[in-house]
Amino acid sequence: MEPSAQITDIAHAIQLAVTPIFLLAGVGITVNILTTRLGRIVDRARVLTGQAQARDMDEPPAVGAEMAVLSRRARLIYRAIALSITCALCVCLTVTTLFVGALLVLNLSTVISLLFVTAMLSLIGALLTFFCEILLATHHLRIGPSSPQSCLPPSQRAGGGPPHDL
C-alpha cells in the first residue's frame, strides 16, 4: 500500500472513531447528573439520621418509610451509574477497535458490532433505571406542609386511606 493511501485510510479511521465520541460526551453528562442525584439522596438521608439522633428517640414511622424510599432510590441510581459506565467503556473500546482494525488492516467488524450493541443496551438499561428512580422519587414527592403520615403506605396510615393532602 502506498503512503498516501495509508494516510487516507488512517484519516478515514479517525473520522469513524471520532463519531462515537459524541455519544461518550452524552454518557458523561448522564453520569454527572446521576452522581448529583445520588449525592442529594445521601445528603437527605444524613439529614434525616441527624434529626432522629437529635431527638434522641426512636425514629417515627414516616422517617423510616422515607429512609426506605431513599435507600431504594440510591440503589437504582447506583445501577444506572454502573450501566452508564459500562456503556462508556464499550464506546471507548469500540473507538479503539475501529482505529486498531484500520491501522493493522484487520476485519474486526464483528467485535466492533458487539461492542457497540453492548454499549447501546447498557445505555438503554441506564436510562430505564434512571426513569424508574424518577418515578419512585415523584411518587413519594411531598411539596409544602403535609402530615407525617403521607410517607406511610396506605395500610399503615391512621384511617387506612390515602392522605387528604394529595
Per-residue pLDDT tens over the stretch 34-92: 999 999 999 999 998 888 777 766 667 778 889 999 999 999 999 999 999 999 999 99
**Higher local confidence (pLDDT), 165 or 63:** 63
Structural domain tally of the chain? Answer: 1
Residue 93 falls within a domain, yes or no?
yes
**Could you report the per-residue pLDDT of 145-155, keeping only the tens digit for each?**
655 555 556 66
Between CA 92 and CA 89 the distance in angstroms is: 5
Residue 159 Ramachandran class (φ > 0 left, ψ -120 to 50 alpha, else beta): left
Residue 65 falls within a domain, yes or no?
yes
The three-state secondary structure class of 28 is: helix
Residue 164 falls within a domain, yes or no?
no
Task: Tell me what pLDDT residue 117 has.
Answer: 97
Task: Tell me what pLDDT residue 104 has.
Answer: 87
Residue 12 falls within a domain, yes or no?
no
Residue 63 falls within a domain, yes or no?
yes
Instruction: Sort 80 into a burial class: Cβ within 10 Å, 0-12 / 13-18 / 19+.
Output: buried
Task: Tell me what pLDDT residue 70 has.
Answer: 96
Render 62-99 in DSSP notation, one character per residue: HHHHHHHHHHHHHHHHHHHHHHHHHHHHHHHHHHHHHH
Q: In this structure, are residues 102 and 34 in contact, taking their beta carbons and an 8 Å threshold?
A: no
Q: Which domain holds residue 85?
A: 23-141
Alpha carbon of 16 to those of 37, 89, 107: distances in Å?
34, 17, 15
